[in-house]
Amino acid sequence: MYWNARMECMPPEELRNLQYRELKSLVYKLYSFNNFYRDRMDEHGVHPDDIQSLEDIRRLPFMYKQDLRDNYPCKMFTSPREEVVRYHVSSGTTGKPTLVGYTESDIEFWTDSLARALTSIGIGRGDVVQVSYGYGLFTGGLGLHYGAERVGATVLPASVGNTERQLELMMDLDVTAIACTPSYMIHMGEVAKRLGIDFRRDTKLRKAILGAEPWSEGMRRHIQEDLGIEAYDIYGTSEISGPMFTECEERNGIHIWGDVAIVEIIDPETEEPLPPGQEGELVITVIKKEAMPMVRYRIRDLTYMEDEVCPCGRSSVRMGRISGRSDDMLIIRGINVFPSQVEHTLMNIPEVGEQFMIILDRKGALDTMTVQAELRPEHFSDKMADMMAIKKRIDSDMRKYLNISVNVELMDPGSLPRFEGKAKRVVDRREF
């Protein structure tokens, strides 16, 4: 079953023509109405008239996350403020957030993209979908909420936390599908086991849409075998709207709707395009975005594309698993964290030095982040209350600027490794 059979099954050649036409009009529009991108194109020596084929997309300049930060809050918007119907915000380096704005039409195509995705998983009218992504500034909760409502499902906006209650509601309301992070799914499974709840016997839950953090085929097997749930991968980031694309029932790659986005895979060093099947950095152009167009956005995820038609009949390219990042961004419990944010936060705390280490672990299903910092001798106190206050201050500052709670370990001065050249301040002991 398709949500939009014409778009989803369009012959590849026709789809490429459509992409070319859409790209050309997008670039003209940007050149005329978006100062940021016009300047960028001028610096790059490229004019909209230079776009004569889909391949000419390579002549356009890249966009980076830094551009969003530099132009915070609204300098990159192409639409007037009153046309913007929603904001989403994600935390950023140096505590400066990244803001994304949406027009009514932006919300519409985002919702439609997810409606196609949910339909391709077999979720629709009659299903009860528990959305256990965070609601609020994060795009996960509201994104899935709109998508699931669009396909006619009943939505349970559970958001995150209070797992026992979530399980109770899941049973009481005959929830059939859930959207959450893979680690939360595993955590739910563990809590259920402790409470004597058997997903197969006691719930109607059969499908899980999992994403917002890196996961693996091993975790998929674990979830599917342990909990008796089919697990589907979902992809998206706030810059491209939010979670947007998923696998279909075949579960062999994430369908990227060609009329929504143009994807390229490049060598992150040479920036040259790579052929299908070869891993490189994902570059994404969201064709339909109005308020904040993203053209050749360096999303920094490493993956590969498959371009043969999927057995499900959909002709879009399919994206493989994200194998890593081409920058130092960490994804912890679905939250993006840059080591530079940790550094910046510590710099404002006089009781500790500027050296630090980040240690990532997975305790049970949940990621934990430990920050080690060196205590300055003059701030040492024999009183525990004073020492706890230092830890608490670091913890609350981290929570404030990174949106994440961390374990703080105070270390002796000089005990943390010093680096010459590129620092390796992250020890990732998580196994995906």
Q: Which stretch binds other proteins (CB under 8 A): 27-35, 283-291, 403-411, 424-432?
A: 403-411
CB 69 within 8 Å of CB 91: no
User: CB-wise, 226 or 395, nearer to other proteins?
Assistant: 395
> How would DSSP label each residue in 345-404?
HHHT-TTEEEEEEEEEEEETTEEEEEEEEEEPGGG--SSHHHHHHHHHHHHHHHHHHHSS
Asked if 380 interacts with other proteins (CB under 8 A), we say yes
Name the token pair of 31.
Answer: 């050149």
Residue 340 found at the interface with other proteins (CB under 8 A) = no
Q: Between residues 213 and 351, which has the closer beta carbon with respect to other proteins?
A: 351
Q: Does 361 bind other proteins (CB under 8 A)?
A: no
Minimum CB separation of residue 206 from other proteins in Å reads 40
> Closest distance between other proteins and the C-beta of residue 291, in Å?
44
78 to 117: interface string for other proteins, x by CB under 8 A: ----------------------------------------
Position 388 contacts other proteins (CB under 8 A): yes
Q: Tokens in use for 114?
A: 């997810």
Q: What is d(CA 23, CA 263) in angstroms, rounded to the nearest whole number?
A: 12
Task: Count CB-CB contacts under 10 A for residue 310.
Answer: 21
DSSP run (H or E) holding 36: helix 35-44
Q: How far is the CB of 367 from other proteins (least distance, A)?
A: 18
Binding flag, residue 382, other proteins (CB under 8 A): yes
CB 432 within 8 A of CB 215: yes
Asked whether the CA dihedral 253, 254, 259, 265 is positive or negative, the reply is negative
**DSSP H or E stretch at residue 90:** strand 84-90
Which position among 387, 393, 426, 432 is part of the footprint of other proteins (CB under 8 A)? 387
User: Which residue from 80, 196, 414, 421 is in contact with other proteins, where contact means CB under 8 A?
Assistant: 414
Binder among 158, 212, 261, 375 for other proteins (CB under 8 A): 375
Residues in touch with other proteins (CB under 8 A): 375, 377, 380-385, 387-388, 391, 407-415
